[in-house]
Amino acid sequence: MSALTFHADLQRWVEEVAHHCNPKEVYWCDGSAKQFKELADELVASGTLLRLNASKRPNSYWAHSDARDVARVESKTYICCENEEDAGPTNNWRAPLEMKATLTDLYKESMTGRRMYVIPFSMGPLGSEFSIIGVELTDSAYVVLNMMYMTEVGNSVLEKLGEDGRFVKCLHSVGAPLGSETESDVPWPCNPDNTYVAHFPETKEIWSFGSGYGGNALLGKKCLALRIASSMAKDEGWLAEHMLILKLTSPAGEVHYIAGAFPSSCGKTNLAMLVPAIEGWKAETIGDDIAWMRFGKDGRIYAVNPEKGFFGVAPGTSYKSNPVAMDTIRSSAIFTNTALTEDLDVWWEGIDNGTSAFTDWQGNRWDPSSGKPAAHPNSRFTVSASQSPKIAPEWQDPKGVPISAILFGGRRSSLVPLVTEAFNFSHGVFMGATMASETTAAAEGQVGQLRRDPFAMLPFCGYHMADYFAHWLELGAKGDESKLPKLFLVNWFRRNEAGKFMWPGYGENARVLKWILDRVQHRVEAKETPLGLIPYTNDLDVSGLNMSDHELDQLFEMDIEDLLNEVDSIESHFASLGSKLPEALRKELDLMRSKLV
Ligand code: OXD
Ligand code: MN
């Protein structure tokens, strides 16, 4: 199929890559439903996809990955800038030429026997000043289908690109060439021993090899919209953040937009699809994972969601925890690594719908007594955001939406109160810079370990983390504090001595958001503590929760000794970031210590 583009650089690059990787043909993705169906049918025929029971889950598919390719691979993710110092201590670094040499060898003939797909895509609404165009070359049709749900794909993007528009070159190969035209393929080709996810921020390129899973392979998401975009944002004076965007309407009809940074698998999608448990409040989604933010002409910060779909964690999603997600994925969705029921619908731990798994995520008969989960803990659904019954009408507004408050949060079973407001913007940056969370299955590695995850950007910041803090502080200093969003630290995950969650979470989180908006609107005072400002007891609406005053107090309890240990731990976190750490953050830490002793 020939290209519908007169973009000489794009054509040259496609030819060069095809020449080197040796695919049997080049396939230009036009973004049409016809192509989607054609590729899905092929993947069903070849065994990569299974068509789900059409009476239960119309137009939906199930895939299971190779058991060695199930999550983002942070240890194999690289920022390849000229100077190691610019990548900073939190990123893996390789010199661009060295990484390109390694990968050029690996890409040689890596697409033999496969098709190479050309996916022109836009992150952000086409034509918005926020948007960035990318083109992904991949030998995975599964990636094409997922990209079609997650981004704007096809001819409209090529048209926008014209003859000389700028785009981010994104190269992806599963790294599993077929020896001959007749060699049969495996359902999930990948190359776990040679996986690399490499970013070249200076030349704005992404080269990914060996993995077909999620953020390693859908290059618009974490690679472009966070790692490359964060580095562009630093140079150009805006922010590319790992944040949800939520629209809240009060019973009086007041509308506010809130952004929130939470590490992977900490309930971001649930919060983005919140169903408020308090009377009269309405919540709608703008985005569940990424926010690009910049100053508007009125001096406020505006945000867009650069994605067009949701790539959500399935386990734990139910009509109780997230009815909006459950309604969104009723049809036209792709499920990866969930379990299956006997009648070919999907199943996962916590789906809580009266069914049971029949086969596990690898497609084997599931034995409940094995003690192993039926669905992989990082199993996912991919679906178009437009299918959500609670998507806000303005979710693709090219101007973005004005942000009133930003939340930082993580899983902390102790120490961090339910909600704390920053004293001012730079104290809020300190909160973001020091946030920590217990690790989850979204990335390889052990689950449940406490790690500092500044702004939930640890795996996604495309440059030196201390420079990133400085960028936030500079942006704050440019703004008028009265127009900047107010910053808050939240923690839905605190546990009592018996190990039980102390806060009901989910829809009840609206109570915390209500207090936050009361603060934004200067309607209530707040109590000063060494950590920040917390609600006076009567200002947090807990009516109907059956919570004793003691239980409520426990959610905000501060143990001085524990907090002094936390100060020490932050001190070493800061030390690990080296000498570039902004002085303002060191001062915030000194201030915190002085308030505790
Ligand atoms: C995600 C992640 O997939 O953060 O959103 O891992
Ligand atoms: Mn994420």
Residue 371 has pLDDT above 90, yes or no: yes
Cβ(132)–Cβ(232) below 8 Å = yes
Is the residue at 213 inside a domain? yes
513 shares a domain with 465: yes
318 shares a domain with 290: no
Mean pLDDT, the chain, rounded, equals: 96
406 shares a domain with 349: no
Residue 1 has pLDDT above 70, yes or no: no
Is the residue at 60 inside a domain? no
Q: pLDDT band at residue 125, thresholds of 50, 70 and 90?
A: very high
In whole angstroms, give the CA distance from residue 535 to residue 418: 10
- Where helices occur in 361-500 by DSSP H, the ranges are 425-434, 465-478
CA distances, 99 to each of 231, 335, 459, 560 (Å): 19, 33, 19, 48
Q: Which of 80, 170, 190, 266 is catalytic?
A: 266
Q: Is 214 in the pocket of ligand 1 (CB under 6 A)?
A: yes
Please say which residue of 337, 359, 387 terminates a domain: 387
Q: Is 289 in the pocket of ligand 1 (CB under 6 A)?
A: yes
Write the pLDDT tens digit of every residue in 409-446.
999 999 999 999 999 999 999 999 999 998 877 777 77
Please say which residue of 330, 352, 387 terminates a domain: 387
Q: Is 288 in the pocket of ligand 1 (CB under 6 A)?
A: no
Given this model, what pLDDT does residue 523 score? Answer: 97
The CATH number covering residue 426 comes to 3.90.228.20
Please say which residue of 357, 387, 417 terminates a domain: 387
Is the residue at 423 inside a domain? yes
Is the residue at 58 inside a domain? no
> Which has the higher per-residue pLDDT, 151 or 446?
151
494 shares a domain with 414: yes
Residue 130 has pLDDT above 70, yes or no: yes
364 shares a domain with 256: no
Q: Is 311 in the pocket of ligand 1 (CB under 6 A)?
A: yes
CA–CA–CA angle 9, 13, 16 (5° rounding): 140
User: Which amino acid makes up residue 174?
Assistant: V
Given this model, what pLDDT does residue 2 score? Answer: 61
pTM to 2 decimal places: 0.97
Is the residue at 342 inside a domain? yes
User: Which amino acid makes up residue 88?
Assistant: G
147 shares a domain with 102: yes
Give the total number of structural domains in the chain: 3
352 shares a domain with 293: no
Write the pLDDT tens digit of every residue in 319-337.
999 999 999 999 999 999 9
Q: How many residues does the chain have?
A: 597
In whole angstroms, give the CA distance from residue 320 to residue 350: 9
Percent of the chain clearing pLDDT 90 (strictly above): 93
318 shares a domain with 447: no
Closest to 338 (Cα-Cα) out of 303, 366, 310: 366
The CATH number covering residue 202 comes to 3.40.449.10
- Read off the tokens for 470: 């400085």
Ligand 1: which residue has its CA nearest to atom 2? 264
Given this model, what pLDDT does residue 300 score? Answer: 98
Q: Which atom of ligand 1 is nearest to the CA of 443?
A: 6
- Where helices occur in 417-493 by DSSP H, the ranges are 425-434, 465-478
The CATH number covering residue 320 comes to 2.170.8.10
Question: Ligand 1, residues 74, 230, 244, 264: which to mutate, most atoms within 8 A of Cβ?
Answer: 264
In whole angstroms, give the CA distance from residue 135 to residue 154: 10
Q: pLDDT band at residue 4, thresholds of 50, 70 and 90?
A: confident
In whole angstroms, give the CA distance from residue 136 to residue 485: 35
Percent of the chain clearing pLDDT 70 (strictly above): 99
The β-bridge relationship of strands 50-51 and 61-63 is antiparallel
Write the pLDDT tens digit of every residue in 171-216.
999 999 998 767 789 999 999 999 999 999 999 999 999 999 999 9
Given this model, what pLDDT does residue 593 score? Answer: 97
In whole angstroms, give the CA distance from residue 442 to residue 462: 19
Given this model, what pLDDT does residue 34 score? Answer: 98
422 shares a domain with 557: yes
Q: Which atom of ligand 1 is nearest to the CA of 263?
A: 4
511 shares a domain with 433: yes
User: Ligand 1 centroid vs 548 CA: distance in angstroms?
Assistant: 36
Write the pLDDT tens digit of every residue in 530-541.
999 999 989 999
Please state the φ and ψ torsions of residue 327, each to the nearest 5 degrees. -70, -35
Residue 457 has pLDDT above 70, yes or no: yes
In whole angstroms, give the CA distance from residue 134 to residue 296: 25
Is the residue at 156 inside a domain? yes
Catalytic, 81? Answer no
297 shares a domain with 203: no
Ligand 1: which residue has its CA nearest to atom 1? 264
Given this model, what pLDDT does residue 181 score? Answer: 65
Is the residue at 545 inside a domain? yes
User: Ligand 2 centroid vs 263 CA: distance in angstroms?
Assistant: 7
> Which has the higher per-residue pLDDT, 439 or 500?
500
244 shares a domain with 127: no
* Residue 31: exposure state from Cβ atoms within 10 A (0-12, 13-18, ≥19): buried
For 367, the domain range is 310-387
Q: pLDDT band at residue 5, thresholds of 50, 70 and 90?
A: confident
Is the residue at 44 inside a domain? no
